[in-house]
Structure 1
Amino acid sequence: MERDARRPSGGGTPLSRHDDSRKCNLVPRHAFWCVQLTKGSTMDQGWFSKPVTVSVGLTGTIRHISNAQQAVELLTGQWRDAGSLQHGAALRACRRAMSGDVTTEAAREAFVGAAREAHVLVE
């Protein structure tokens, strides 16, 4: 991987060049350049392949949860079944997806299970 001393607009982490033949887990800037995220120093949001629609709060506000970070925020807020096994599993899976230890799809499925158990999943 080549290093380039240039910085992305607004400062930040140096840009790194990589070839397109391998999967890039970096934030894309365009075809060849990415802002490098150093594991451990910056957590990924863990984007889901498809948003999970839930109904939350007393008024049943519809929210579209698109990533693990949003799921963690919801799970640690006012969650109906906080403390249940499904809730705990979803919270762990989403946090681990943000750090890259599990796939975002595994985190999404765990979140869907917790939402279904709490009767907030909109299907």
Structure 2
Amino acid sequence: RNPADTFVADFIGTSNLLDGTSSGSREVTVGGARLEIAEMPDGMTPDTKVTVLVRPEEVHVLPGVEEGDNRLHGRVSYVRDVGSSVEIYLDCNGLQIVSQSTPKGRPAVKQGDQATAVLPPTACVVLRS
């Protein structure tokens, strides 16, 4: 669940790997949005280049533009129903975000809709770039 680097993170399966910059003791800027992070690596200083890993099943998608902490706004680029799960792809200011949920838990969005990706602080794993 907590890979040591981006190579391992990419190797073990689909992950959202978001380039950003450390901006404080528990904060990272990604795609113009500030994300609160539950746990930062030791020795992290402001302006350090980082990659934030978030597993697709941890990303929550809300229809429309919903303001709040740890949220990226974008447009649904693709929805894929793979039977036991539904994958929703969002384009958030040039960042590709993938969410995965069960069909029952699927948010009411379709391709072209505006949507908000919520990245919980406990789901954001910071890796040094």
Q: Normalising by structure 1, report the TM-score.
A: 0.21
**Larger helix proportion of the pair:** 1
**Larger strand proportion of the pair:** 2
Task: Please identify the structure whose Cα radius of gyration is greater.
Answer: 1
Q: Normalising by structure 2, report the TM-score.
A: 0.20
